[in-house]
Amino acid sequence: MPKACDARTDGPRDRTCDLFGILATASLVTSDEIKQYFTDMLEFLEDEVCDVPHIAYYYSRFLAAAVAAKLIDLAFLPTALKPLVEASLVKPDAAILGKYAGAAWIFVDVLRQLKLMDGVGEEGAKAFYAAAKPDVASLLPDGGEAAVAELLSAGEVSFVDPALGEAVKKAEAAAASEAAAAQLGALEEYLTSGVLSPGSGSGGEEGGGEGDGGGDGGQLDAVSKWIDENVSKGLQGEDDKVARLVMRCVLNGGVPDGEEPSAKLICAQIERCNKLLKKVTNSTEAPKRLVKQAGCLYEVQAFCGTKGWPSGLMKKLFYNLYETDIVFEDAYGVWREDVNDTTPGKDKALFQVNEFLQWLDVSGHARQSRTCTRIACITQTLTRSLSLSLVCRRLRRMTARMIISFSCDTYPPNTGRKETQGRLHLDHL
């Protein structure tokens, strides 16, 4: 094998790989002898990189050939490769995930070589892996199933253990869900602590309205900053959970303790929290924005339901959200047509806001008609302007031709320079 590694071509290395199968078939070498040889050679493999830069590639081929010949199994590799866990056997650009360049790299490349071998392929490599159950985590400095799944996926050999990848994905999803629930719980606790109540700013009634840094404005800016610092960007942008929670707390904050809900006070609360509500419902992607804004409408529906459906309240809140540009017109359509949301009282809510939705439809058609009329008028004006411009340009060209023709008739025959100048001038008109 050392001579095959020094060879300038792949021929000797190919014959060395074939030799494992021949020796195994003829029973001329034992499994223990091959294991001992590889254990001794791999221990100092990093020292050979300077003289043979591609030695890691060569030995991964030899190991794969020995596995295919059933002289060693994949469970042997983690033990034999243990001295190379921190080694750098390949260049940084060839390292897996930019960090695995030693034992882990060789193990993955053995699996890749097995996949490419005739008579083994992907199914054979998968069978070898399943039978051996190698301790791949011992080859990684950080260990763990997640790291192993990441390694196999990055090395494009995840086919050997697809169940591991699925298990890791489920675990990551569960952890992300738990973290999101914790963040939402902390956000709800913060918003219900009184920070959204009118007059809760640091300046109180004395400092309210004295610039952005004081009173309610300063307090709401602090709320927005708290959300940025304590709620992940992914949670803020992925769905309507944050938007719905903020809308719910804003609505509840507009009802003083022990009092009946007042449309005037709640609308004032919405207008006061306008900037905050726009922040949590905004998105560069229209579908996500629609989901968030429709979620806010469902929170209004739930709020009015818990308050016993006060007469006219929901209609006024819908109109207020529309007038303050917190919820756009298309979001109302999404809310109206959605049949999958489980918020109770949808039929009652539709009855309460029917007049508003009809008004919204009529005003939308009217705006569309006015827009079409304006576009038609602008198109006619542009057409006339272009036609007039074309006529004027043609008149200028005709006038220029007459002047040039007159000039050519006036100058003597040997002054062709003037005619040339005239033609050049005409070409620029």
pLDDT digits (tens, 9 = 90+) for 84-131: 999 999 999 999 989 999 999 999 999 999 999 998 999 999 999 999
- Say whether pLDDT at 15 is over 80: yes
Q: Which pLDDT does position 395 carry in this prediction?
A: 66
Confidence of residue 290 (pLDDT cuts 50, 70, 90): very high
64 or 416, which is more confident: 64
Please, which contacts does 186-194 make with residues 24 or more away whose CB atoms are closer than 8 Å? Answer: 186/230, 187/227, 187/230, 187/231, 187/242, 187/245, 187/246, 188/245, 188/249, 190/223, 190/226, 190/230, 191/223, 191/245, 191/246, 191/249, 191/253, 192/249, 192/252
Where does the pLDDT of residue 213 fall: very low under 50, low under 70, confident under 90, or very high at 90 and above? very low
For residue 406, the 8-state DSSP code is H
What's the whole-number mean pLDDT along residues 254-282? 92
pLDDT of amino acid 420: 45
How far apart, in whole angstroms, are the C-alpha atoms of residue 385 and residue 379?
Answer: 10
Q: Give yes or no on whether 2-160 and 182-352 have one common fold.
A: yes
pLDDT of 352: 94
Lowest mean pLDDT among 160-164, 310-314, 388-392: 388-392
State the average pLDDT over residues 246-271: 92
pLDDT tens-digit series, residues 148-166:
998 999 999 999 998 888 8
Q: What is the pLDDT of residues 362-375, one digit of tens each?
A: 875 545 555 555 56
Domain chopping of the chain, boundaries: 2-160, 182-352, 363-427
Bridge partners of 96, per DSSP, are 100
Of 71, 88, 89, 64, the residue nearest 34 (C-alpha): 71
Amino acid 378: pLDDT: 62
- Provide mean pLDDT across the span 182-196: 93
Please determine, for residue 385, whether its predicted confidence score (pLDDT) is greater than 70. no
Question: Which pLDDT value is given to residue 425?
Answer: 45
Q: What is the pTM of this model?
A: 0.60
Query: How confident is residue 241, by pLDDT bands cut at 50, 70 and 90?
Result: very high
Q: What is the mean pLDDT of the chain?
A: 84
> What is the CATH number assigned to the segment(s) 182-352?
1.25.40.180
Distance from chain centroid for Cα 419: 66
Give pLDDT, residue 331: 94
Cα–Cα distance measured from residue 283 to residue 294, given in angstroms and rounded to the nearest whole number: 13
Least confident of 131-135, 180-184, 410-414: 410-414
Give the pLDDT score at 215.
Answer: 55
* Paired tokens of 248: 């719910």
Residue 31, pLDDT > 90, answer yes
Question: How many percent of the chain have pLDDT more than 70?
Answer: 80
For the domain covering 2-160, report its CATH number.
1.25.40.180
